[in-house]
Amino acid sequence: MSIFKAYDIRGRVPEELNEEVAYLIGRAAGDYFGARRFMVGTDDRASRDSLFEAFARGLRTQGVQVLSIGKVSTPILYYTAAEQDFDAGVMITASHNPGEYNGFKFCRRDAAPVPQEQLQEIRRLVEAGSFRSVSPAGAPEEMDPFPAYRDFLKRRVTFSTPYRVVVDAGNAVCGLFVGDNLALTPLQVDPLFFESDPSFPNHEPNPLLEENTVELRRRVRETGADLGIALDGDGDRMMLVDEEGAFLQGDLTTLLIALGLLETGHRGFDVVIDCRASRVVEEILRGKGLSVTKSRVGHTFIKTLMRKQKSLCGGELSGHYYFQESHYTESTDLALFTILAMMEARKATLAEIWRPLARYPQSGEINSRVLSVDATLARVKAAFHDARFSEIDGLTVEYDGWWFNLRPSNTEPLLRLNLEASDTGQMEEMRDKVLAVVRADGGEPA
């Protein structure tokens, strides 16, 4: 079943994902996790109710008690499931995908991630259609997660400056509650696209793409705001815009978070970053006496490494930021609060803090469709044979003045290039040289 992806289940409704499939996924999840209690949250897509009802019915058929926490963000689901000691949890969401999609993001006890091999076990159960025969559970129960979650947030607000922030909720689920959450802080919030609309009329809820932040950047500049915040469809990713409208990449935001935690008294901790992160992240953090662990791209890998290393924080280029105090899961709230507290302590603007750290020009992620991923990676390795190599995720090739990561897609014959160099001229030259090798045997831009 193609809806089972590397990190979650996701597909077009109803062609790929419908009530019948959701019911079978519920039964399979009930059997696989062996859970007695299962927490379920949803985003605000048009298909949420029908998929929730079918999925919950599948769980209950397998004797699992279902607790619904309603329309929430994925971080709130993770936090609440861990704090309430649930056996497992699921967020019904398609994250940043268009409105006709939906899906399921699972977590285990203590909000531990569910890796790809475990998702494939659930897939096999769905395809086999053979489940345990047990006494069904009763009707779903309901719980409001916001009082406890907001108590958690209030304890994490350590700044007092009434910064003006523009928040773009992208017409997704966070618009229903992010204003109330941030009302706990001194912030002056300028809401942008808070009205829930599953068709996402203003832009797709994917903040990683700069074209989806055009209006946010314009609003920040026009209003003189201190920063802008772009959230994705289920609130587990955040990208920042500084007071001049410049877009921060997720790796530099991760660096700011780690520096902010260091400046509040934490010492000697570990930070997990993905293998695409700028070289400057590791240079600065190691120079401050911190350890840095590189990970494969993807929340299951980051979270697993953080738990193993007992890392204080972590982050990805894609805008996911993870914290030990939120059970090693994403928290856009803690990420924002940490950076605002650092701005206040330094008496500096966001641009003044991050721009001196952006030492190396980057290519951005460039996709190439290739005939053979393995053959292309071998050809690239041969072409740059005198480099230092790492294969944490795809192929990382390092020279003193420049480096790149070439990573395969999980679902298509694509290779994703991220390249960085000491200056813009070298970056452009090496980018074109690497792409020529990647596309030498019938490859093309994707």
Would you name the residues annotated as active-site residues? 95
The CB density around residue 346, as the number of other CB atoms within 10 Å, is 13
Give the residue ranges of DSSP H helices in 288-394: 299-309, 332-346, 350-354, 373-383
User: What does each C-alpha distance from 298 to 37, 91, 163, 190 come to in angstroms?
Assistant: 27, 17, 32, 31
For the chain, what is the largest distance between any 2 Cα atoms, rounded to a whole number of angstroms?
68
Helices (H) and strands (E) in the chain, counts: 14, 21
Half-sphere exposure of 355 (CA within 13 A, CB side): 12
| Contacts with 216 (C-beta within 8 Å, 6 or more apart), sequence order | 166, 168, 192, 228, 229, 230, 241
- 28, 20 in Cβ contact below 8 A? no
- On the 0-12 / 13-18 / 19+ scale of CB atoms within 10 A, 192 is buried
- 58, 24 in Cβ contact below 8 A? yes
